[in-house]
Structure formats: C-alpha cells, structure tokens
Structure 1
Amino acid sequence: KKAEGWVGQPDEHVVGERFSPACYIAEAMPASLYLAWKYHEDFVGGLVANANVGGDNCHRGVVVGAILGLACGVPAEWSGALRVPPPR
C-alpha cells in the first residue's frame, strides 16, 4: 500500500531516496520489484525507466526485464533482431 503513494513521484526519487540505486541485493531487489510493479503493463517503459534511474541499472534490469517479460511479453521489435528469437 505504501508504494501506491510513490507512483506519482519521479522514479529517480523513489529508487534513489526510498531504496538505493546501489548494486547490493538489499537495495537492488526492492527497487527492481518496485519498478516491475509500477510498470507491470509496460515492458518497454519499465526497462527504460530502470535505465534512466542510473546506478546499477544492469543488474536491476535483469530482474525487471524477466518479470515484465513474463507479465507483458517481450515486444517483437525487441526480440526479432536476436540471432535465435524465442519461440512465440
């Protein structure tokens, strides 16, 4: 419930002030879960928001991307350029 009040705030503020942009799991996992929750219907928006927050965005991106990919599916324009695209 507390996170619902954070949705209107900039992601940089929430991740940077409420959690931490650091790579340590104690900070990275809650920040990853928050971004996945906030962008649960927007795969691209969630990954772009994660990248824009800065800090250790590559490790958070693995978690955010996996959760949002499962929830939303990976857009064809993102997976179609892979050497071996995933089965549809």
Structure 2
Amino acid sequence: MKLPNIKTDGKNNQELGEKITSGIRNQGVDLTPYHLCDASAFRGSVLGIDPAILARSMVHSLQVHCDKYHHHISKRDFETA
C-alpha cells in the first residue's frame, strides 16, 4: 500500500485521521488509522511488549492505553500469549 502524502502542520488528530482514512480508502482498503492502532496494541500485548512502551509508541499515556485496549483482551488472548 502506498502511504498518503499528508502535511501534519496545524492539524489535530481528527483531521489527520480523516485524511489518512481517505487516502487508505482511495486505494480500496477498508481500514481506518484506529484499526491499525488497535491491531498494533493487540500484537504488542501478544508479543509481550511492555504496555508502557506500547502506550508511548502510540503517543498516549499508560492510563489511556490500559483504558482503551485492555478490555479488548479476551481470556483466549491471554491463553495464547
């Protein structure tokens, strides 16, 4: 997939998300940046990466990371990990 050329100066996260989503969908892929963040958080947890490192890589606090992603992890996911 070719990444869209996006200038980030002065844009907030919502504007950036909309631009990225539009660029990805123009290539026929039905994903949003949030799907990619969710997948990254899940994969990182399965690989045993420290949640603080995952949070920092997504530019949010550990508390936000835990609030947003930990409730998505099922019993099966824990067993797999």
**TM-score normalised to structure 2 length:** 0.35
Query: Which has more radius of gyration?
Result: 2
